[in-house]
Amino acid sequence: MNNTPSSQDSDPASTDAATQPVVRLKPKAEARAIRHGFPWVYADELVTDRRTQKLSPGTLAVLEDGDRRAMGLVTVNPNSKIICRMLDQNPDAVIDQAWLEARLARAHAMRERLYDAPFYRLVHAEADGLPGVVIDRFGDTAVIQPNAAWAEAHIDALVAALIAVTGVKNILKNGTGRARSLEGLTEETTVLHGVVDGPIPVPMNGATYMADLIGGQKTGLFFDQRPNHAFAARLSKGARVLDMFSHVGGFGLAALAGGASSVLAVDGSAPALKLAAQGAEASGFADRFTTRQGDAFAVLEALAEEGAQFDVIICDPPAFAPAKPALVAGLRAYERVARLAAPLLAPGGYLGLCSCSHAADLSAFRNACGRGIGRAGRRGQLIHTGHAGPDHPMLPQLAESGYLKALFYRLDG
């Protein structure tokens, strides 16, 4: 596949190393962090002359430090706060199908070692060497989220490489979400290869989940919570379980597989709850599974008024603090969740509180949860801290890649 055009600056998919444009760090920018693996250059760290500003989003360029020494091959987006993303520390690298296949093969080999069935996150962006790219695999079907301009420009090569490495038959592009808007990309969901025409059953932790890859949230299912679902299931034998913000039944179905006596799944989305009920039916749990649609805070308050009580409660809300400007309000929301959920828990029961907010680190989230539990008049032990599964690896140099936090408490009277 030849991606080399005659005009380098105008084509973001160009990969001819001999004619790549050059972008340069400012003299005081921290080059050491990038040499040691930090994958991003922020807009205020780069010399943005008129030539750089004219580069099309997704253009490939050689990054130099302030002393004009080459540091690697980057993708440039002058419209983004993350103006450069490191693709390869070899400035002569050629970004083509073969390069993509090598990155995908490395990611694929690890997942195949970890999981018995091909249901997992195949590519977790920067941590798998494909910045801004998320790929979730559902058996013979894969969903690509090209959340960076370079990936959008190379989407045909990425699809071909994905088929070559994994043998998947169907590929869907999910071009929605906040990350794409920050890159200046339009929203679009489309089938790129094969056919995707309905929910896909996903076996996980002894249950069957129904993933709507086209109309569901993100790629249709959250694989990141898999180990935390399993931990909650261990707490749920014989328990009455409340699964708040349940989506398609994540914690609830796992709890039923673990022997829960009953599960009430609460979510604001009727389609998500319908899929959860279908999953319960497919798993043979329908007689122990009920749903309730509504605003989570309102439902928690209503359950308290009804005198409801549970042995295990899991709250897995959406990101209340996706970025730093939302941090204060987000932490207040997490505190409120804990404060409203804790009174519904029977003495000696277990409370799981989760956050997928990038801006709220573990310490801040734990403190917010502790305040909420305390203000509910409850006390207890923090017995387990969970994170995303190993198919969501963390790039050590990039704290944002370790976003998921799950705290499990045992509460006394």
Would you tell me which CATH number, out of the four given (1.10.1740.10, 3.40.50.620, 3.30.559.30, 3.40.50.150), belongs to the domain 204-411?
3.40.50.150
Are the C-beta atoms of residues 113 and 136 closer than 8 Å to each other? no
pTM here is: 0.91
Any idea which architecture 97-193 has in CATH? 2-Layer Sandwich (3.30)
Are the C-beta atoms of residues 222 and 118 closer than 8 Å to each other? no
**3-state SS assignment for residue 44:** helix
Beta-carbon contacts of residue 113 (< 8 Å; ≥ 6 apart): none
Residue extents of the structural domains in the chain: 8-88, 97-193, 204-411
Backbone φ and ψ of 406, nearest 5° = -135, 120
Superfamily for domain range 8-88: PUA domain (2.30.130.10)
Query: Residue written as tokens 């979510």?
Result: 267
Question: pLDDT per residue over 56-82, tens digit each?
Answer: 999 999 999 999 999 999 999 999 999
* Residue closest to 26 by CA, chosen among 42, 40, 39: 42
Say if residue 203 is exposed, middle or buried (CB neighbours under 10 Å; 0-12, 13-18, 19+).
middle
- The sign one gets for the Cα dihedral 135, 138, 142, 145 is negative
**3-state SS assignment for residue 410:** strand
Cross-strand pairs, 62:
22, 73
**3-state SS assignment for residue 237:** coil
Backbone φ and ψ of 386, nearest 5° = -110, 160
Are the C-beta atoms of residues 127 and 393 closer than 8 Å to each other? yes
Tens-digit pLDDT string for the chain (413 aa): 334 333 334 344 445 555 789 999 999 888 889 999 999 999 999 999 999 999 999 999 999 999 999 999 999 999 999 999 999 999 999 999 999 999 999 999 999 999 999 999 999 999 999 999 999 999 999 999 999 999 999 999 999 999 999 999 999 999 888 888 888 888 889 999 999 988 999 999 999 999 999 987 778 899 999 999 999 999 999 999 999 999 999 999 999 999 999 999 999 999 999 999 999 999 999 999 999 999 999 999 999 999 999 999 999 999 999 989 999 999 999 999 999 999 999 999 999 999 999 999 999 999 999 999 999 999 999 999 999 999 999 999 988 788 999 999 999 97
